[in-house]
Amino acid sequence: MTTSLRLQVNPATMERSSTSDTASEKPNPSHHSTGAVQMRIKNSNSHHDRLSQSKSMILSENVKVAEPINRHRRNLSQHNLTFADIISTQEPTVVAKEGYLLKAKIADGGKKLRKNWSTSWIVLTARKMEFYKESKQPAMANLKPGYKPECVDLCGARIEWTSEKSSRKNVFQITTVSGNEFLFQSDIDFLILDWFHAIKNAIDRLPKEQRITSRNLEFKLRRSSSIELLNNLDTESKEPKPEHRKSLIFRLNYSASDTNDRNRIKSRLKKFISRRPSLKTLQEKGLIKDQIFGSHLHSVCEHEKSTVPQFVRLCIEAVEKRGLDVDGIYRVSGNLATIQKLRFVVNQEEKLNLDDSQWEDIHVVTGALKMFFRELPEPLFPYSLFEQFVEAIKIQDNATRIKCIRSLVKKLPRPNYDTMKILFGHLQKIAAKESVNLMSTQSLGIVFGPTLLRPEKETGNMAVHMLYQNQIVELMLSEYSKIFGSEED
Predicted pLDDT of residue 190: 86
Distance CA 298, CA 440 (A): 30
Nearest alpha carbon to residue 432 among 366, 367, 469, 481 = 481
Tell me if 432 sits within 8 A of 477, measured CB to CB: no
pTM: 0.45
Helix (H) or strand (E) holding 319: helix 310-322
Residue 445 is predicted with a pLDDT of 93
Q: Are 7 and 57 in contact (CB under 8 A)?
A: yes
CA nearest to 96, candidates 243, 201, 233, 240:
201
N-terminal to C-terminal alpha carbon distance within the chain: 143
The confidence score (pLDDT) of residue 451 equals: 92
Q: Over its length of 489 residues, how does the chain's per-residue pLDDT go in tens digits?
A: 444 444 444 444 444 433 444 344 444 444 444 444 444 444 444 444 444 444 444 444 444 444 444 444 444 444 444 444 544 444 456 888 889 999 999 998 888 888 889 999 999 998 889 988 877 666 666 556 666 788 888 888 899 998 888 888 889 999 998 889 999 999 888 889 999 999 999 888 887 644 444 444 444 444 444 444 445 444 444 444 454 555 545 554 555 566 777 888 888 888 877 777 776 676 666 666 668 898 999 999 998 899 999 999 999 999 999 999 999 999 999 999 999 999 998 988 768 899 999 999 999 999 999 999 999 999 999 999 999 999 999 999 999 999 999 999 999 999 999 999 999 999 999 999 999 999 999 999 999 999 999 888 876 667 777 889 999 999 999 999 999 986 544
Contact present, 36 and 8 (Cβ < 8 Å):
yes
- Residue 477: per-residue pLDDT: 94
